[in-house]
Amino acid sequence: MKYLYLLIVSFITLPTVIADIIDVPDDYYSIQVEKHSNSTIYKKNQLKYPDSYYYFNGSKNSSAFGLGLGIIARRLFFGFEIAAIGPPPQESSDYDYYVPHGDYYKIDGQRTIINKNGFDIYLVLPIKKVMLYGGGGLYFQKTSDVYVSRVTGWHYIPRDTWKTHIYISNLYGLIICVDRAIIGLFKQDLRGVGVLCGYAF
């Protein structure tokens, strides 16, 4: 319990300490050009970085694809996203009980009925117009035994054979800020390599 407390405290305070050391900026400057008949005037405008960005992402590895939605709280050095991993489940059935007669067979092994879905939590380190991030999360998948009726061909997935599998993920990436928009690349061990796009509304 002591180590868990230290881990939580470190997770919360470490980004702020690093940000103080490297002087993470809260604002940036843009140059506005005004052209007149006899001269050109350059104005320096001070702009603040947005507090939060909202984004969606897509990813692909050798056997699956993933889609996610997330939020980055820049001033809190924190990000969170939820994601789903394809392809679609191997089985889908309205019958969550055993075949009600004796003429059936069982498919070898367990089949996926709910694919991997989960979330990632990560730390964000903003460095001017670039943000580095990394963290991890939990993903859940459900499988079941499948019985097939030889009479009707219907598939049955008895509820007492369902199993939930838990996967731990790790995630890291790089984001570039373009005014209020963001684009980025990331790597997640369950979802593969992906791209993200977002905006500060």
**Nearest alpha carbon to residue 170 among 145, 147, 191:** 191
Per-residue tens of pLDDT for the chain, all 201 residues:
555 555 555 555 555 555 554 445 555 555 566 676 666 665 656 566 678 899 999 998 877 789 999 999 888 888 999 999 887 777 777 788 899 998 999 998 888 888 889 999 999 988 878 999 999 999 999 999 999 999 989 999 999 999 999 999 999 999 998 888 999 999 998 899 999 999 987
2 within domain boundaries: no
- Is residue 141 in a domain? yes
Residue numbers of the domain that contains 126? 50-199
Structural domain count, the chain: 1
Question: Is residue 77 in some structural domain?
Answer: yes
- Contacting residues for 94 by C-beta, under 8 A, at least 6 apart: none
Residue appearing with tokens 């800020």: 177
Domain assignment present for 145: yes
The 147-149 sheet, strands edge to edge: 104-106, 147-149, 155-156
| Domain CATH number, residue 172 | 2.40.160.20
| Residue 8 dihedral angles phi and psi, to the nearest 5° | -65, -45
Question: Model pTM greater than 0.75?
Answer: no
